[in-house]
Amino acid sequence: MLIKRLLEIFGTNAQSKTKRGEIICKECNFIYANTFDECPDCKYMKILTDRSFDELSENLRVIRTIRGARAIKAAKEMGLKLIELRAEVSDQFKVKYKKKKDKLTGKIITIGDYRADHHDSWRYKTVVDWTSRNPSKFFSPFAAYIVPKDLKSGERVLINDVITNHVSGSWNQGDVYRLSKSEATWNGRGFVIDVGSYAIGDIIG
C-alpha cells in the first residue's frame, strides 16, 4: 500500500519532467517549457471540445484562436472554417519582470515596475532578477482563427488571442507590449485588426 502510494506521488512526477526541466504532458506526451501553467497543446484542444462557439462579449461575437499543429489538424477534421496564419516572433516586443520570494510566507511574486522594487531584501529574496520576455514567442508557429460559417463581411468581432503582431503600447521603462486582444472586422477573406480598440498607454474606461 505504502509503495503504491509512493509510486503515485513520486512515480508520476518523475515521468513528467525531462532532464532539461521541461514538462511532459501526462495526457498527450507533448513536451513543453516549465514556464507554461498547463500543457499548451491540450489547452488549444480544449477550445475545440468546448462547445460555446456562439459566445458574445461586449456585444461582439468572439473569434477563437487555436495554436499548434495538433489542434489545427483536429479542427480541420471537425470541418471548421479556419484562417491559418503563421505566428511570427518579433524582437520589437519586450516585457520586463522580476521574481521575488517572500521570506515570511514563501510566496513568489512577480513585479514588472522598477518603482515596485523596494529595498526590502530583509523580506524578499530575488528568485529571478530583472529580465524580459518576448510576448510574441509562442510554443508553435502554427495558428489559426476559427471563423463562424455565418460570419458576414463587415461584421465586427472580438479576437481574444491575436495571431499577427501589433504594438499595443510602450512604456517609459522600456517595455513594448504586444496586442493580444483586439476588436476586428471580417472582410470576407480575413480579419482587419483595429489596433486602437485595445491599445494601451492611455487607458480609458
Partner 1 sequence: MKIKPSTKEIYTDTGKFIKRLHCPIHVKWKAMKKNGNESRICFECNKTIHDTAKLNDTDIVKLIKKDPQACLRVKLNQDNVKIVH
C-alpha 12/C-alpha 38 separation (Å) is 16
The crossing angle, in degrees rounded to 10, of helices 69-77 and 40-49 is 20
The grid cell for 38 is 498547463
Which residue ranges make up the site for partner 1 (CB under 8 A)? 58-59, 95, 97, 110-113, 115-116, 168-169, 171-173, 175, 177, 180, 196-197, 200-205
Write down the residue that cell numbers 455565418 correspond to: 150
**Which of 12/160 has CB closer to partner 1?**
160
Write down the residue that cell numbers 514567442 correspond to: 137
**Which of 17/137 has CB closer to partner 1?**
137
CB of 163 to partner 1, least distance (A): 17
The grid cell for 184 is 476586428
**Which of 140/182 has CB closer to partner 1?**
182
Residue 98, strand partner residues: 111
CB of 112 to partner 1, least distance (A): 5
Q: Collapsing DSSP states into helix, strand and coil, what is residue 25?
A: coil
Residue among 84, 194, 193 at smallest CA distance from 141 = 84
CB of 162 to partner 1, least distance (A): 12
CB of 59 to partner 1, least distance (A): 8
**Which of 70/178 has CB closer to partner 1?**
178
Compute the half-sphere exposure of residue 100: CA atoms within 13 Å on the CB side of its CA.
20
How many Å from the N-terminal Cα to the C-terminal Cα in the chain? 58
**Which of 7/200 has CB closer to partner 1?**
200
CB of 122 to partner 1, least distance (A): 20
